[in-house]
């Protein structure tokens, strides 16, 4: 007798949507200004973590809070376990939302909110899936471990802390990507490039870049860029004012310009946000604004900064100008996103890159090439973090099991995919990213008006429930 996973998910839809509204309304953007003991990434993230752990306690599971860095909700017994790894932190929201990002709105069968797709909606769907398995009464031979991370969108410090306190399952999935399945993930190299200030606090004449700010998340394409300049030659500023609207028209974007009482010119430019793994999908506001400014005679650190952005990084999505371009047959081409861009007279310039290299390419060799190229450009690397790539062969048990479940429930072939994104799946030796997006559906992760279709969440819930059972039975 087969168990009707779809029907069980459907019975829970009303309760799920009511709870999802509450969960998505929690602003779980990392906020270090409110960080404290037990809340290492701020109060909002801590509130979202505690929300899920409280739900686990109410439903009779064994729960654990690992110092606010991560949490676990566990069901069943057994020497072996399977993992379901989710995250409850979200990226910043930007501007232009139709409805407030933390006031969930249902329109045309979609639920809109920051985190609806990445990853709070799927996380709650996977939790409900675990409840379905528990309520079924079907016997399991393995323990199910629902593991909650809090720093996935930033530095993954949550997982580092988790591994110091506990051990991760060998197999499992993360509901943080697309169906049918991501079995190969690119690795990441995240360097911060630096050039020091010219050391001239006083205005020395000529054209001067006072400040430049764009982006606040390394793994997102910057949506907005702002810059301020001054000059002792008014004709330069007049030329900027004249050329600005033509530049915006050429770039098919919008922006603003104003002059303050001190004669300083302030410019802002709107880009298009996108996930850092797909920089070509967005429009980088920072590098685009640099393209405009670098036409004018800046000098010193400002000139070097604008040149790097405009001539090296702008729309060079595959890092050819950085001498890093490569690809493999498993996960495709290396990509680069210039995510956080800063310049000030007192502190100089910093550029934080998010580089995603193919699964079968050497990380060490790419880092060496990067260091050589950055030195050639006259910059230094002040900080560098990296993470390994991930690959699970198609004949592995977890791939075969989840493929079968997906095909049974959808009637579609389970074609294996690779991704430039990094999910918690790579934390498990044999973990894969599994949904929630179905083939052909738009991904709005990290974008304005982020959403997921409610029907897709319910379909994913049923797939997750059967998958948990099949892996743990």
In contact, 362 and 334? CB cutoff 8 Å = no
How many residues does the structure list for the chain?
A: 473
DSSP per-residue string spanning 54-102: HHHHHTT-EEEEETTTEEEEEE---SSEEEEEEE--B----S--SS-TT
Domain 5-186+390-472 indexed as CATH 1.10.3470.10: no
Choosing from 30, 81, 89, 151, which is the catalytic residue? 89
In contact, 392 and 183? CB cutoff 8 Å = yes
Q: Partners of 63 in the beta sheet?
A: 73
Percent of the chain with pLDDT over 70: 98
Name 400's Cβ contacts closer than 8 Å, sequence gap at least 6. none
Tell whether the model's pLDDT for residue 197 goes beyond 90: no
Q: How many CB atoms lie within 10 A of CB 342?
A: 19
Q: How far apart are the first and last CA of the chain?
A: 15
- Mean pLDDT confidence for 376-397: 93
Domain 188-387 indexed as CATH 3.30.70.360: yes
Q: How far apart (Å, rounded) are the C-alpha atoms in residues 62 and 72?
A: 8
Choosing from 152, 176, 185, 278, which is the catalytic residue? 152
Q: Which of 336, 334, 335 is nearest to 309 (CA)?
A: 336
Q: Report which secondary-structure segment, H or E, holds 388.
A: none
What is the pLDDT confidence band of residue 234, given thresholds at 50, 70 and 90? Answer: confident
In contact, 342 and 350? CB cutoff 8 Å = yes
pLDDT digits (tens, 9 = 90+) for 395-431: 999 999 999 999 999 999 999 998 877 899 999 999 9
Q: How many CB atoms lie within 10 A of CB 329?
A: 10
Q: How far apart (Å, rounded) are the C-alpha atoms in residues 340 and 190?
A: 11
Q: How many CB atoms lie within 10 A of CB 325?
A: 16
Distances (CA, A) of 101 to 26, 97, 352, 423: 10, 7, 26, 23
Q: DSSP code of 39?
A: B
pLDDT digits (tens, 9 = 90+) for 423-468: 999 999 999 999 999 999 999 998 999 999 999 999 999 999 999 9
164 belongs to the catalytic site: no
Handedness of CA 229, 234, 239, 244 (dihedral sign): positive
Q: How far apart (Å, rounded) are the C-alpha atoms in residues 346 and 331?
A: 42
Tell me what pLDDT residue 200 has: 60
Percent of the chain with pLDDT over 90: 90
Tell me what pLDDT residue 421 has: 74
Q: Which of 473, 471, 469 is nearest to 132 (CA)?
A: 469
Tell whether the model's pLDDT for residue 1 goes beyond 60: no
Name 263's Cβ contacts closer than 8 Å, sequence gap at least 6. 230, 234, 237
- Mean pLDDT confidence for 323-346: 94
In contact, 89 and 30? CB cutoff 8 Å = yes
Tell whether the model's pLDDT for residue 204 goes beyond 80: no
Q: Is the bond leading into 226 cis (omega within 30 degrees of zero)?
A: no
- Which residue, chain included where needed, has tokens 């309760």? 15
pTM of this prediction? 0.75
Tell me what pLDDT residue 201 has: 55
Tell me what pLDDT residue 253 has: 97
pLDDT digits (tens, 9 = 90+) for 37-82: 999 999 999 999 999 999 999 999 999 999 999 999 999 998 999 9
User: Rounded to 5 degrees, what are φ and ψ at 251?
Assistant: -85, -5
Pairing of strands 81-87, 143-149: parallel
- Mean pLDDT confidence for 97-113: 98
Domain with CATH 3.40.630.10 in the chain: 5-186+390-472
89 belongs to the catalytic site: yes
Domain with CATH 3.30.70.360 in the chain: 188-387
């Amino acid at each position: 007798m087969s168990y009707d996973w779809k029907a069980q998910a459907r019975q829970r839809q009303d309760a799920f949507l009511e709870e999802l509204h509450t969960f998505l309304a929690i602003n779980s953007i990392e906020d270090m200004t409110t960080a404290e003991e037990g809340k290492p990434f701020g109060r909002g993230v801590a509130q979202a973590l505690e929300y899920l752990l409280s739900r686990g306690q109410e439903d009779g599971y064994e729960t654990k809070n690992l110092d606010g860095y991560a949490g676990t909700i566990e069901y069943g017994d057994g020497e072996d376990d399977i993992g379901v790894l989710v995250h409850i932190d979200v990226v910043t929201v930007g501007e232009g939302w139709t409805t407030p990002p933390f006031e969930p709105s249902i329109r045309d069968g979609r639920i809109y909110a920051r985190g609806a797709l990445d990853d709070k909606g799927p996380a709650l769907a996977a939790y409900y899936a675990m409840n379905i398995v528990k309520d079924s009464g079907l016997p399991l031979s393995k323990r199910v471990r629902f593991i909650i991370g809090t720093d996935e969108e930033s530095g993954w410090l949550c997982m580092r802390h988790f591994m110091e306190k506990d051990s991760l399952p060998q197999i499992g999935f993360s509901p943080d990507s697309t169906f049918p399945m991501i079995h190969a993930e690119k690795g990441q190299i995240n360097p911060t490039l630096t050039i020091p200030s010219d050391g001239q606090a006083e205005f020395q004449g000529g054209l001067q870049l006072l400040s430049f700010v764009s982006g606040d998340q390394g793994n997102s394409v910057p949506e907005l860029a702002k810059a301020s300049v001054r000059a002792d030659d008014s004709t330069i500023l007049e030329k900027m004012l004249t050329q600005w609207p033509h530049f915006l028209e050429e770039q098919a974007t919008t922006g603003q310009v104003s002059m303050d009482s001190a004669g300083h010119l302030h410019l802002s430019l709107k880009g298009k946000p996108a996930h850092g793994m797909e920089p070509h999908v967005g429009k980088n506001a920072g590098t685009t604004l640099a393209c405009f400014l670098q036409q004018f005679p800046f000098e010193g650190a400002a000139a070097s900064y604008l040149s790097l952005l405009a001539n090296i990084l702008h729309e060079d999505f595959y890092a050819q100008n950085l001498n890093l371009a490569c690809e493999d047959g498993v996960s495709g081409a290396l990509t680069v996103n210039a995510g956080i861009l800063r310049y000030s007279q007192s502190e100089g310039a910093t550029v934080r890159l998010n580089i995603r290299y193919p699964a079968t390419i050497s990380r060490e060799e790419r880092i060496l090439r990067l260091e050589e190229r950055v030195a050639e450009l006259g910059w230094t690397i002040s900080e560098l973090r990296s993470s390994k790539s991930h690959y699970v062969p198609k004949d592995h048990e977890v791939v075969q099991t989840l493929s079968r479940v997906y095909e049974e429930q959808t009637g579609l072939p389970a074609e294996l995919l690779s991704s430039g994104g990094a999910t918690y799946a790579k934390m498990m030796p044999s973990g894969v990213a599994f949904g929630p997006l179905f083939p052909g559906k738009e991904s709005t992760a990290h974008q304005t008006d982020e959403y997921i279709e409610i029907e897709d969440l319910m379909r994913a819930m049923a797939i997750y429930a059967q998958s948990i059972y099949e892996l743990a039975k």
